[in-house]
Amino acid sequence: MLDIRSIRQEPDVFKRKLGRKGISPTVIDDLLAADEAWRTALAEVERLKALRNATSEAIAQKKRNKEDASEDIARMREVGGQIQTLDEKVREHDAAVRDMLLALPNVPHDSVPAGESEADNPVLRTWGDIPKFQFTPRAHFEIAEELGIVDTERAVKITGSRFVLYKGLGARLERALAAFMLDLHVDKHGYTEMFPAFIANEDSLVGTGNLPKFGDEMFKLEGLPYYLIPTAEVPLTNYYRDEILSADDLPVKFAGYSSCFRSEAGSAGKDTRGLIRLHQFQKVELVNLCLPEHSYAVLETLTRECEAVLEALELPYRRIEICTGDLGAKDAKKYDIEVWLPASNTYREISSCTNFEDFQARRANLRFRRSDTSRPEFVHTLNGSGLAVGRTVAAILENNQEADGSVRIPKALVPYMGGIERMTK
RNA sequence: GGAGUGAUGGCCGAGUAGGUCGAAGGCGCUCGCCUGCUAAGCGAGUAUACGGUCAAAAGCCGUAUCGAGGGUUCGAAUCCCUCUCACUCCGCCA
């Protein structure tokens, strides 16, 4: 959520910045008109309330002195009715302003490159050697099927399409990757490990910006105000919701492993096979809360921490920057990390690292104090996938496949696999 | 699932015949004094949000907030209704 007072002060700045995201300037004009109406009504009703408070005090005084106050009481009865009507109006205007603010996307940072679509996202760096194969590399789902480590058919029987079931060494690989990633972030990068509930309430989802706009991308529990979390970002970012931290508490670095549930995953009709696009996948998520002046440095560090996972697993990747046209609604600046997938001869997103600045913090009322005497300010929030486990499995299967159908386990992962160095039929 | 109790400021905790209660008192915290230093002691201060005023900040004015929402009333922390949450006991359960 953007700051209405800043918008009031510098409407043109917001028009320009939101214009980079394709938002029409009239949206700002409408917002300011609604805001003006709200403030006018508010001033009026507050004036009446001040009158009522003063008169009520006078009534109390008169009653104590055994004087007659019936005239004042009659007058206030009328004022009370006016207040009720005006209060209703204030509420309506306030709701209108809030709805408009909640619907507005974040403003992109000035450093975000302009662009229409994902095709315009610049590549910032690449790492690792793309493997050369003496044979045609096969897709991860074919390898997995042949190794018997993923059972899609029965997952469909048990649940439905867009779900998988890991079996045997596949299940172990999932577990190993999650443990490896968590250990790396906790031991090397200074994160606090978190294991949240996979269900969150509506306030939390509003806090991170998933509601009210993106409710249909999530699974809602029938008859309950609960949703399956689309990412651990939701519980981790909301951990300090409605709290005021001290500056000493910052930065906060949370690493959380969770299943992630996405209802939209089936609609696009692509990646219908394999581990790329599922209604449920597992992910280790990194969440950072920090001082506003540090958030862009933190974004760089955070992105490196996510890339470190791929480097440790010896998987080639590249980092791209998301341009204005491809930037998500909550994002001020975002890097995607894409891992090389040989079978499709392309890089695929395996992590997103984003600085939200105070967009989420304002929604979640997540603040800090620089000193005991200073006023609360909003923290900046960031997160990054470190990493999506299913896509990491896919990347290992495809990049480490051999002609005989076996798959080499990355060295760093061998201890987590009980010493197994290779998966064979 | 059954029965019961409760929800007040950073924390603890007063406050029910409705009226000067944003709310006693204590603790904590901040600043100052005092002391060779620390502790103790003394004094002052110490919520948040929004609106207005101001170039802006401070300040000042106003409104709201005693779990949330609604109601009664000129006036509600105090009365009524609904909801939420927490705790205790019983049952069930990994």
User: Domain A118-423, CATH 3.30.930.10 — does that match?
Assistant: yes
Give me the DSSP letters along A334-346: EEEEEEEEGGGTE
Q: Is the CB of A40 under 7 A from strand B?
A: no
| CATH architecture of the domain covering A4-103 | Orthogonal Bundle (1.10)
Mean pLDDT of A257-283: 85
User: pLDDT confidence of A265, banded at 50, 70, 90?
Assistant: low
A4-103 matches A118-423 in fold: no
Q: Is the CB of A122 under 7 A from strand B?
A: no
Query: What are the beta bridge partners of residue A6?
Result: none
- Confidence (pLDDT) at A102: 85
Q: Is the CB of A372 under 7 A from strand B?
A: yes
Share of chain A above pLDDT 90, in %: 69
Mean pLDDT of A94-111: 90
- Confidence (pLDDT) at A266: 62
For strand B, give the nucleotides within 7 A of a protein CB: 19-20, 29-30, 48-52, 58, 62-64, 71, 73-75
Distance A71 CA to B90 C1' (A): 59
Mean pLDDT of A110-119: 94
Q: Say which range, A48-62, A183-197, A287-301, A325-339, has the weakest mean pLDDT.
A: A48-62
Catalytic residues of A: 262, 277, 349, 352, 391
Say whether pLDDT at A223 is over 80: no
Predicted complex ipTM: 0.85
Output the CA torsion sign for A301, A108, A255, A237: positive
Q: Tokens 């939390």 label which residue?
A: A204
For the annotated binding site of A for L-serine, the residues are 231-233, 262, 285, 383, 385
Q: Is the CB of A66 under 7 A from strand B?
A: no
Mean pLDDT of A155-163: 90
User: pLDDT confidence of A57, banded at 50, 70, 90?
Assistant: confident
* pLDDT tens-digit readout, A359-402: 999 888 888 888 777 788 899 999 999 999 999 999 999 999 99
For the annotated binding site of A, the residues are 231-233, 262-264, 285, 349-352, 383, 385
Better pLDDT: A187 or A102: A187
What global pTM score does this model have? 0.91
Say whether pLDDT at A11 is over 80: yes
State the DSSP H helix or E strand holding residue A383, giving kind and residue range, or none if neither.
strand A380-388
Say whether pLDDT at A268 is over 80: no
For the annotated binding site of A for ATP, the residues are 262-264, 349-352
- Confidence (pLDDT) at A182: 97
DSSP annotation of A189 reads T
Say whether pLDDT at A56 is over 70: yes
Say whether pLDDT at A267 is over 90: no
**Please, what's the b/e burial string for A92-106 (b: 16 or more CB within 10 A of its CB; e: otherwise)?**
ebbebbeebbeebbb
Q: Domain locations in chain A?
A: 4-103, 118-423
Q: Say which range, A85-94, A147-156, A347-356, has the weakest mean pLDDT.
A: A85-94
